[in-house]
Structure 1
């Protein structure tokens, strides 16, 4: 089947019920999308499908032919970090870093619909993305910084 991943058409020969997460990681060598819980509850596997944040661990790849899939590797422009990725670095958000690609993808979805979010907007949008290290205040600060960067 053909998939549009990060703006490129990619062909994979996998069972249609294989979760997108494993296609990205094992077949397309895009390891930024992480396995967390496997039941779409933690957010570590968040990617964008047609511009919306979705959990890839429960998304059968057979349902995605023709969809535009964006992973954390495809979020910025070639050779340039997305404003969220830069804000994550500037605000030293990551501690262990495991959940952060999912956090960034969820935050990008938030900023696409709410370009100047309040703390409450951020807390609500990010509530399904878990961070065992508890970097939530830094996540919020980085989202605010990215929102300002994207405005200017």
Structure 2
């Protein structure tokens, strides 16, 4: 019984000691890890961005189960970001002026990330009553923002086909 009590007091004492030594009052030991994410200010820095692939077209197709909802689907693209400094912003957007719609992701580039970046636009819902043509002209835009500058990496026109 005495050994059990001694073990409990020993473990409790150790936990209290480590808590005090590493706590904010004493701070003699830091048991935390350095943050692994980007620590630079968002929108600072720059990068060299080259386009590997961007889609030539997109589709608007009808939803399932007789729904009157259509979905804009854009194939994925990819870029290569090298010589990244700071944390520049890369935005990828599809814009369809006739439908007053635009969508796309924003990526925050970091030095520790892979150079190859996947560009994916989530499905966008469009009501059937908005669709009065079989195809629409759209533009894909890839912008790099950093250090107060905005650089158009690529802007290209594509056709969006409506599949009824």
- Tell me the TM-score normalised to structure 2 length: 0.21
The higher radius of gyration belongs to: 2
Pick the structure with more strand per residue.
2
Pick the structure with more helix per residue.
1
- Tell me the TM-score normalised to structure 1 length: 0.22
